[in-house]
Structure 1
Amino acid sequence: MKKTKDLTRREFIKAAAVSGIGLTVVPAKVLGGTGRAAPSDKINVALIGCGTQALKMLPDWLQRPELQFVSVCDPNRESYDYPLWGKSKGEKKGAPGGREVGRARINEFYAENAGKAAYKGCTAYADFRELLEKEKGVDAVFIMTPDHLHATVAAAAMKKGIMVGSHKPVGNFMHETRVVCEMAKQTKIPTQLFAFQDPKELYVLKEWIRQGLIGEVKELHRWTNRPMWPQGSPYLPTNTPPIPDGFDWELWLGPALPRTYSPDYTHTVFRGWYEFGAGCLADMGYYGFWKDWRLLNLGMPVSAEGSASFTCEIRDFRSTWVENHLSYPHAATLQWEVPVNGGDKMMEVFWYSGGIRPRTPEFLKKEGKGMTQEG
């Protein structure tokens, strides 16, 4: 799969100079070795968030010679209680996560890569604000926190002239997203959303559409099998055990409203709650809609409509609809009216979650014949 061109340290320094950020760079000829990236050619990265997604992506990042991971941050020190989404293999404990897990994996990689018994160059923090204040050599942060912290960390990093790479979404609420995007525009700090993909098939399909080979595209439909986490509850969690040792609940909450600790909020199950996550659309919609918008040259939606599943309870012998202001519904359908090619022509865009999907067109249905056993 083709990716966008990655930002090198030299490109970052050039962009930083435009935005008035002062950087001291040691010439590569002084510190560089043959066949190796000099320290001044590397981007010093701080990993903010050391949960399952960060640890899954970390091995590939560590292989990148232009990146040097110098620090990690997570309010959780270390635990093995992160829910797993994959098929069960009989394990009775969760996945590992936390800053010490992230630090250990980074140190182990660099030690092995250098042929040394140990490496201790990666620092660890519970509070990202402390990291940004003390780690003066950080060039970029990779944000892998729960959704509700993305915008807060991104804004804090940009204020210090630090490049931002973030997993989706940009922010948990629309106003957060607007603030972060405006900051990036005004400061000219290099930023990247990790959900971006640029497959060659996209350009093939775009050419087919341009030549009229598949006819006029009138509607766009996307769907997901999410949620794979609990959501839809109109009530706060009743599971409120003591805060685990090594876990800073207040730091995890960040800008969110204070509340009693519950494991039903944290780690990989945060996304179902309005306060902490952006639901199925922000989890999976990004991947597809990013490509669709480029493929069809779509603009900003001019209207939106939605419908969702709901819950009823029997109260005083009467069926009563339960209002839910806390979590996303079990299933939903969204529809937007979107301008095409910057003109007055509109396209209907649909999104489905929770097992809902559009009806399969007749010409795509199977003929009902058995498949052959050969070739």
Structure 2
Amino acid sequence: MRGRKSDCVDAKKRITRRDLLGGAAAAAAFTIVPRHVLGGAGNTAPSEKVNVAIIGTGGQGIVNMKQLFNEPDARIAALCDINELSDYSMFYYGGTAGLKPAVELVRKQQGQACPTYRDYNKMLDSEDIDAVLIATPDHSHAVIALAAIAKGKHVYCEKPLCRTVYETRVVTEAARKAGVATQLGNFGHSSEDIRLACEWIWDGAIGDVHDVHAWTNTGARRWTSLTDRPKETPPVPAGFDWQRWLEPVPARPYHPDYAPVRWRAWWQFGSGTIGDFACHHLDPAFWALKLDQSTSFSVEASSYGTTDETCPAASLIYFNFPARAGMGPVRITWYEGGLMPPRPAQLEEGRSLGDNGILFVGTKGVIFGEGWSRSPRIIPESKMRAYRKPPKTLPRVKGHHRDWLNACRGKGRASNHFGYSGPLTEFTLMGNAALRAGKKLDFDWKNMKVTNVPDANKYVKPQYREGWNI
């Protein structure tokens, strides 16, 4: 992140606002006036709301904003994007996205428009902002998150946390040192289902897990034909600040194959299908198998369609973890672009694996789950019905955004805080390093270093344009 005088935190203002939200002393000082006098009967007082700024008002930014509308103590205080309006009708978001439709949604929901910005640093100078939600392309996650953390703002970031392992580590450490509330956007982590899967595995429901298979057959459909930089240089659409969108990576001419949506296909901007989906689908394995207790692992990959510029159309990625935390070695295989694991013999005839899912293979059985940490079941179903479920030992949460807002208010730590989801992101992104290196990589996780192929370390730490660094 470029050093700027404006990046300095105004400690007095920050402490005052955070004490108001999360500190007992400040809360006591502000209970002289009853809540209903300020907020209206049944409503949350304005002084008790978490003022959230949305950075990135594309499809996913608007999806998140609508989730926050459902929380009575959340207020959208500002919006920031470099794009006024784009047509998203061809993608799953539908409709339009950008600053214009986003601010109209705020006006409709909150009764008045909120301020809009194109420069997130200027926006972060507002003392009315307690927290930010980042839903920009992967390449800008790190610099935006670090700018927000430097100003003491709480951070919710869409997955993956960053585009590369190095960026992820830096952001994770910055958040830890600052003590801000954080949450990654893989919403399945807040579900009942992922907790059940962990508790069953820890209970020994399927014995010792030695293999995991996880897959998706969706993301790469958007970019299977993209292999090299487009030669055409069409004009930048009106209302789209292309140069600011590029920050902090090296410049190149605008093309619609890059933005507003297909950026995931390009190593310069995105992290491909595994970056898009693995933080969802591999989260149950990361948690249940305590992979964060490892200090090293190996990863190798094969793919179709990988180039120096673009992510693959299809790939197989193999992670090998040694024994750790009382658990034996485990091999984790990631499938994407139509590739699928072998059908387990335990799966009844007529049941489909589906386009997204996960399989835990143990010495005594198999657990099959859907994507996004959903619906874990021991297979066959007769074995699931016969299983005596253990007591529920993991804390439950009431929603992904709710969990983060509680943390912003000083009510504990969100379960998917960066201290957990940062290592989850690093683990998955090493798959991309193996794809690009074309070799098996031995990764010293603690020291963030590929030990057997030194040249592959260039895929661990990104290249920024001149004048930018973190």
TM-score by length of 1: 0.80
Give structure 1 regions of 4+ aligned residues with deviation exceeding 6 angstroms: 14-17, 23-26
* Equivalent pair of 1:16/1:189 in contact (CA under 8 Å): no
Aligned to 1:104: 104
More helix by share: 2
Q: Deviations over 1:322-341 (max 9, x none)?
A: xx211101111111112454
Using the TM superposition, give the Cα deviation of residue 102 of structure 1 relative to its aligned residue in structure 2, in angstroms: 0.8
User: Does the CA-based 8 Å contact 1:73-1:99 persist in structure 2?
Assistant: yes
Structure-2 change in CA distance of 1:332 and 1:14 (3 Å): farther
- Map of 1:191 onto structure 2: 182
**AA matched with 2:97:** G
Corresponding position: 1:347 with 2:330: yes
For 2:314, the equivalent position in structure 1 comes to 331
Query: In the TM superposition, what are the counterparts of 1:157-176 in structure 2 within 5 Å?
Result: 157-176=148-167
**Counterpart in the other structure of 1:74:** 81
Pick 1 or 2: higher relative contact order, CA cutoff 8 A, min separation 6.
2
AA aligned to 2:69 is L
Cross-structure match for 1:362 = 345
Pick from 188, 198, 206 the counterpart of residue 214 of structure 1.
Answer: 206
Question: Hey, what's the Cα distance between the residues in 2 that align with 1:28 and 1:78?
Answer: 43
Task: Please tell me the residue identity of whatever aligns with 1:106.
Answer: V
Matched, 1:51 2:34: no
Structure 1 gaps of 5+ residues are: 1-8, 18-22, 88-93, 112-118, 312-323, 369-375
Residues 169-218 of structure 1: per-residue CA shift (max 9 Å, x gap): 11111111111011011111111112142332334333433443323321
Corresponding pairs, count: 328
Counterpart of 1:105 in structure 2: which amino acid? L
| Partner of residue 136, structure 1 | 127
Taking the aligned partners of 2:324 and 2:21, their CA distance within structure 1 comes to 30
Pairwise CA distance, 1:256: 1.3
Q: Does 1:125 align with 2:117?
A: yes
Cα deviation 1:31-63 (Å, max 9, x = unaligned): 343322112211001000000112223222112
Tell whether the 8 Å contact from 1:304 to 1:336 is kept in structure 2 after alignment: yes
Deviates more, 1:204-213 or 1:100-109: 204-213
Q: CA RMSD in A?
A: 2.9
Q: Which of these residues, 232, 237, 240, is aligned with residue 233 of structure 2?
A: 240
Partners of 1:308 and 1:329 within 8 A in 2: yes
Q: 1:78 to 1:207 in 2, by over 3 A?
A: closer
Given candidates 127, 147, 151, the residue that maps to 2:138 is: 147
For 2:17 and 2:321, the matched residues in 1 are separated by 35
Is 1:84 the counterpart of 2:87? The answer is no
Structure 1 CA distance for aligned equivalents of residues 17 and 276 of structure 2: 30
Secondary structure of the 2:346 match is helix
Q: Secondary structure at the match of 1:55?
A: helix
* Deviation of 1:365 (Å): 5.6
Which has more radius of gyration? 1
Alpha-carbon contact 2:51-2:76 (below 8 Å) kept: yes
Residues 174-323 of structure 1 correspond to what in structure 2 (within 5 A)?
174-196=165-187, 197-225=189-217, 226-231=219-224, 233-299=226-292, 300=294, 301-310=296-305
Partners of 1:340 and 1:347 within 8 A in 2: yes
2:198–2:284 contact (8 Å) kept in structure 1: no
After TM superposition, give the deviation of residue 108 of structure 1 in Å: 1.1
Unmatched 5+ stretches in structure 2: 1-14, 352-470
Counterpart CA distance in 2 for 1:353 and 1:341 is: 27
Shift of 1:231: 4.3
Contact 2:215–2:281, Cα closer than 8 Å, also in 1? no
Give identity over the alignment, percent: 33
Q: Counterpart of 2:313 in structure 1: which amino acid?
A: H
1:356–1:348: structure 2 CA closer, same or farther, 3 Å change rule?
same
1:279–1:328 CA contact under 8 A, matched in 2: yes
- Alpha-carbon separation, structure 2, partners of 1:15 and 1:70: 15
Is the Cα–Cα contact under 8 Å of residues 298 and 340 in structure 1 kept in the other structure?
no
SS of residue paired to 1:185: helix
Residues 144 and 167, structure 1, Cα contact 8 Å, conserved in 2: yes
Checking the alignment, whether the CA contact within 8 Å between 2:208 and 2:327 is kept in structure 1 is no
Which amino acid counterpart does residue 220 of structure 1 have in structure 2? V
- Closer, same or farther in 2 for the Cα pair 1:203/1:53, shift >3 Å? closer
Contact 1:50/1:97, CA 8 A, preserved across alignment:
yes
Distance across 2 between alignment mates of 1:138 and 1:367: 52
Give the whole-Å Cα distance in 1 for the aligned partners of 2:84 and 2:134: 17
Distance 1:234 1:338, change over 3 A: same
Residues 209 and 265 (structure 1), Cα distance of their counterparts in 2 relative to 1, 3 Å cut: same
For the pair 1:27 / 2:27, whether they are aligned, the reply is: no
1:80-133 C-alpha deviation (Å, 9 max, x unpaired): x2363349xxxxxx731111211111011112xxxxxxx23x011112122113
Structure 1 residue 362, shift from structure 2 partner: 2.8
| Paired position in structure 2 for 1:320 | none
Distance 1:28 1:96, change over 3 A: farther
1:356 maps to a residue whose letter is L
Q: Which amino acid aligns with 1:148?
A: H
C-alpha deviation, 1:13, in angstroms: 3.6
Q: SS at the partner of 1:362?
A: coil
